Amino acid sequence: MTERYTVGKALALAAQSDDKAYGVLLERGTLELGFYKPDGIDPQQPHTQDEIYIVQSGSGFFVQGNDRQPFETGEALFVQAGMIHRFEDFTEDFAAWVIFYGPEGGE
C-alpha cells in the first residue's frame, strides 16, 4: 500500500510536536520525512545528517553559512550535515517539507 502524506496531516503533526513547529511523518533507515512550520523565528541548529527542504508555501530569506538568499514556494534547498542554516524574514504562511538522509556527518 502506498503511504500518503498530506499537508493537512503534516500541519497537524507539527502543531502537536514538542516544539509546535516540526512533525515527523516517516522514518525508515536513515531517511526521515518531516514538515516544518516555525512561528515567527527559526531557532534551529545544525543537524547531523544531510537534508533537503522543499518549500510548500511562503517566501523569505534562507541563510546558509555566510550566504543569505531569497527563497519562495516550490524551491528545494540542500543543506549539508553540520552547516549553520536558518530561515529569516519569512512570511506567516511559510512551511516546508524536510528530508533528512544518509549517515551522521553527511555523505
Whether 100 and 35 have beta carbons less than 8 Å apart is answered as: no
Domain count, the chain: 1
Asked whether residue 106 is assigned to any structural domain, the reply reads no
Amino acid at 84: I
Give the range of the structural domain holding residue 89, as residue numbers without chain letter. Answer: 7-101
CA separation (Å) from 58 to 19, 44, 73, 92, 98? 20, 18, 5, 7, 15
Residue 93 lies in a domain: yes
Mean of per-residue pLDDT scores for the chain? 94
Hey, which bits of 1-107 come out as E strands? 22-28, 31-36, 50-57, 59-64, 67-72, 76-79, 85-88, 95-101
Residue 34 pLDDT grade (very low, low, confident, very high; cuts 50, 70, 90) = very high
- CATH number of the domain to which 90 belongs: 2.60.120.10
Digit-coded pLDDT (tens) for 55-100? 999 999 999 999 999 999 999 999 999 999 999 999 999 999 999 9
